[in-house]
Every structure is written in C-alpha cells, then in structure tokens.
Chain A
Amino acid sequence: MLDITSIVFIGIYLLTLLLASTETTSLSVAALIGAFLTVLFGLIYGALTPEEAIGFIDFRVILLLVGVMVTFEVIERSGLFRVLALYAIRYSKGDPKVLFFSLCFVSAAVSLFLSDVTAILLIAAAAGTIARIMDYDPVPYFVSAAIMINLGGTSTLIGSTSNMIIGMASGLSFLDFLNFLAVCEIILWVLTSITLYLLYKPRLGEKKPPPVYDPWGEIEDRKTVYKAGFIIALFLTLFLLYERWNVGPEIIALACAVIALVVVGVDAGSVFRQIDWETIFFIGSFFIIIGGLEKSGVLKAVSEAVLNVSHGNQFIAALLTLWSSAFLSAFVSNIAVALTYTPIIGMMHGMNSNMNYLWSALVLGTNLGGAATPVSGAVCILAIGALKEENVNLSFAEFSKAGVLTTIVQLAFATIYLILRFGM
C-alpha cells in the first residue's frame, strides 16, 4: 500500500509529464515546477531535505552533455557538416532516388555528432533548397530526414541525451555501446531508409539536370574545416580509449570542448549562448522528481512489479522494456523516459548480474520511439515547422503515418536483434 508521500510524488511526476507533453509550459519550466513541488512536499512530509534533493542530480550527465554540446557547436560553425550535405546532394546528379538515400544517410551520420535540433535545421535547409531548385515535393525529404536523424546515434554513448543518461547510470562505456548496438543501428539505417523510400517513392519526383556548384563555395577558410575534422577524430579516439585511463566520459567531453575552443578559435561567448539550457534545466529538475519517487519507494515497487510480471525471464523483461519505453517516448520526452527507467532497471540487478540486454533494450526503446509522432521529439516538430517555411502544411496525422510505420519496423527488428545478440 502506497503512503501519502508516495502518492503526492507520483502526482507531481504525472503533472510534470502532462504539462510538458501538452506544451502548457516549456519542458524545462514543467520540470522546474515538478522539482519545486517535490522539494516543497518533501519538506512538508519530512521525506526530503533540499540538500538531498540537490544530491539527486547526477552532475556527470550534465557535464557530459555540456562538453558534447560545446565541442559540436564549435565543429558545426566550421561548416564541415554543410560541406558534407552539399556533397551528398551533388553526388545524386539530379536522380531523386539517389538524392533521397544520400540525404537519409547523411542525416543519420550528421546526427551521430550534432544535436537532433541542429541536425534537422541543417539537413532540412539543404533539402528545402534542392527541392525548390528541382521543383520536388519537400515532404518526403523532410520527414525522412527527421526520422533518420532520430535514429542516428542510437549506438553511441553521445548519440542522444537519453543515451548519455543511460550510459552514466549503467556504467556502459562508449565501446560497450558500439559493441552491443552498432550492428543493430547499421541494419536499422538500411531498413528504415528502404521503408521510407517505399512509402514516398511516388512523390520523389523525376530525374532532372542538377544545379552546378562547388560544395566548398561558402567556406571562407578551409583550414577551419580541417581543424574541425581533426577535433572529431581526436574526440572519437579519446572516447574509444578513456576506460584505460580510469576517467569518466564527462572529463573527456569537457577536455575536447576546451581543445575545440582553443584550436578552432571561435568566440567562446557566442558558443556558450548556443548551449541547450532548456534540456539542461529539464534534466537537472527531472533528476529531483525521480529522486523523490526513488526515496519514497515507488520505483522499487515498480521494479518488483516488473520482476513479478516477467517471472525472472530475460526475454519478457527485455521485451517489456523495449516496447513500453518506445511507446512512452512517442508521447513524452524520451529524456524523461530514460530518467524514469534507469533507476528501475538499476534496482533489478538481483535478477541477473549481466543486465546489458536490459540496458540495450532501454537504449533502443527510448531512441526508436522518438520519431513516431510529431510530439515525440523536437526533431519532428522542427521538420513540420521548416516545411511550413516552405509553404507546405504537413498535418500531424500525415507525419505520424511515416513515424508510426518506421517505428514499428524498427522495434520489430530490435526485438529480433536483442534475442540473437544476447542469446535470450
């Protein structure tokens, strides 16, 4: 039986999700309200002190996020990813089929490094320009880019904010992520782009003479692009090796941010202004809300319920985690889903000493559910917003048609992959 504190904390948690998912307030404000109420009622019921509440925030996640954001903001400013997108378009030589696949793969590749928001603004701008020049329908290109950007980075620790949260909570390293999920992600790239191609084939347009241009046309200083390439190489090398030096990924991310600022030499103040404070405040505050639920014993009860339902069966537990986290991520922020699930899975250690299959299921679920509907993630809504700038009004239903279809295909494959990869 739940006590009054637990009921109040559950109420605060649900209120926060409701405020955030209905866009009554922004994500960060919804979470700040929730965190404030958690501390307030924690004090009233003697369940929580403000110091304890601050202690719930995992600052390693925040530092990792800031380090990655600064590093890739610097790299993005060099124009490297823009050049990449321009090469992808030129490579298509006016063939819409080739253009479609090259934009799909560049979208996924770019989002390995850039935040989803930055990636969709870049790719949509490239797709919007070529669609106007070639007189193509921009919808297939914009929707596919959003879905591929959401998918890109599923198998890396820094690929998405939810991955960073799961990685820090589980202790899975950058190499572990690649080891468990890289093959899955590559196959998902192919499967998803083929699904989208089949869906949009009649709308892609006809082959036409392409515009002639130099992809380096807008680059004033090629040296900066080369420096950005060097920073990416250094970043990946350090992330592959950091376990050997007994330091956390957040230290590597911060070190890379400093190196990037020094080597590329951009205005640090303007880079810091571009940091996604909305996400940082959301995560920090949501940690407090989840901490309240954890301390009151609610998450332990959920964890035990999952154990009871699955009867200790790995396959059922993984399936439950994968599909339920994906379903929830389709309607609320996948960051909130990752923050909720990580302590629950962490408490299930008694079930099996090797929990990698559950962490992998959670990574896949939170990532793949992020582009099912327009409210699943910022990347989807920005694709719709960018289409509006191109004078195309895409309805939520039309986006969801592609989003739900690809999410089901992805989850079906992820289920098979988990069974085969972890021998369940």
Chain B
Amino acid sequence: MMGLRERILKREKRSMERYKEERETFEKVMGTPKINVSVELPKGYEDRREDFLDLEKEKSFLKDANRALGRVVKKHLKMKEKAEKEKAAESKDKQ
C-alpha cells in the first residue's frame, strides 16, 4: 500500500506545484506578507560558486540574512514614513 501511495503522489507533482502557487496567494492575503530578494555572488568569490548556491539551504545563513535584512527593511520603512510626513507638511504649508 505504501508503494502505491508514493507512486500516486509522485504522479501528482504538477498538481502540487499548483497547490503551492495557490497557497502563496492565500498567504499573501491572510498571512504575514513576504517579499523575495535575490542575492548575487559577490565579486572576488567566483571560485566559490557551489558553496554560494548551497547557502540557500543553510539554516544559519537564512537566519542571519533574515535578521540583517530585517534591519534594512525597518530602516527603509522609517525613511519612507519620514519622507511622507515631510511631504504632507510641505503641502500643508503651501495651502
């Protein structure tokens, strides 16, 4: 029975891709919003191509990247907020 189960599930791979897409759409509406940022291999590290690609699966790297990017995101959101406030104040002065 286990063999049959795995065989059938393997055949449904395409449907599971569709499931993941649907899941992402619902996650965007109901869950915590996410944005994807791609990172390029830094110059001077061309010979470490394999190691660089492996980082995508390393938990410690993902944790560090999330923490570091979290700081960048906060900084930029604060900058946006400040710019919006300044713009609103400017338009108020003009009126």
Binding site for B on A (CB under 8 A): 22-23, 26, 82, 85-86, 89, 117, 121-122, 124-126, 128-130, 132-133, 211, 213-215, 217-218, 374-375, 378, 381-382, 384-386, 388-389, 396
A386 to B27 CA separation, bound complex (whole angstroms): 15
**Contacting residues, chain A, for B9 (C-beta < 8 A):** 381, 384-385, 388
Set of chain B residues within 8 Å of A117, measured between Cβ atoms = 15
A386 to B12, CA, bound (A): 10
Complex contacts, B5 vs chain A, CB 8 Å = 374, 384, 396
Contact between A82 and B19, CB atoms less than 8 A apart: no
Taken together as a complex, chains A and B put the C-alpha atoms of A296 and B1 apart, in Å, by 36
Assess whether A122 is in contact with B22, with CB atoms less than 8 Å apart.
yes
Contact B30 A129, beta carbon cutoff 8 Å:
yes
Contacts of B30 in A (CB 8 A): 86, 89, 129-130, 133, 211, 213
By the criterion CB–CB under 8 Å, are A82 and B25 in contact? yes
Binding site for A on B (CB under 8 A): 1, 4-5, 7-9, 11-12, 15-16, 18-20, 22-23, 25-31
- Chain A proximity of B61: nearest CB distance (Å): 22
> Are A382 and B28 also in contact (CB < 8 A) when A121-B22, A125-B19 are?
no
Question: Are A124 and B19 interface neighbours, CB within 8 A?
Answer: yes
- In the bound assembly, the distance between CA atoms of A386 and B11 in angstroms comes to 13
Given contacts A117-B15, A121-B19, contact A129 B26 (CB under 8 A): yes
Closest Cβ of chain A: how far from B38's Cβ, in Å?
23
Q: Is the CB of B31 within 8 A of A129?
A: yes
Q: How far is the CA of A283 from the CA of B26 in the complex (A)?
A: 34
The interface residues of chain A, by DSSP majority, are classed as: helix
Residues of A contacting B26 in the complex (Cβ-Cβ under 8 angstroms): 82, 85-86, 125-126, 128-130
Q: Are B29 and A125 in contact (CB under 8 A)?
A: no
Q: Using A375-B4, A375-B8, A385-B12 as known contacts, say yes or no to A121 and B18 having CB atoms under 8 A apart.
A: yes
A126 (CB) vs chain B CBs: closest residue: B26
B18 to chain A, nearest CB (A): 5
The smallest beta-carbon distance between A148 and chain B, in angstroms, is 18
Tell which of B1, B23, B25, B27 touches A389, judged by Cβ atoms closer than 8 Å.
Answer: B23
The contact of B15 among A82, A121, A128, A396, by CB within 8 Å, is: A121
Pull 7 A–B residue pairs with CB atoms less than 8 Å apart, ordered by A: A130-B30, A133-B30, A133-B31, A217-B29, A218-B28, A218-B29, A382-B12
Q: Which residues of A contact B4 (CB under 8 A)?
A: 22-23, 375
Picked from A26, A214, A389, the residue with its CB within 8 Å of the CB of B11 is: A26
Cross-chain contact B28 with A217 (CB below 8 angstroms): yes
Q: For residue A82, give the distance in angstroms from its CB to the closest CB of chain B.
A: 7
In the bound complex, do residue A211 and residue B31 qualify as a contact, i.e. CB atoms below 8 Å apart?
yes
- Return the chain A residue nearest B23 by Cβ: A125
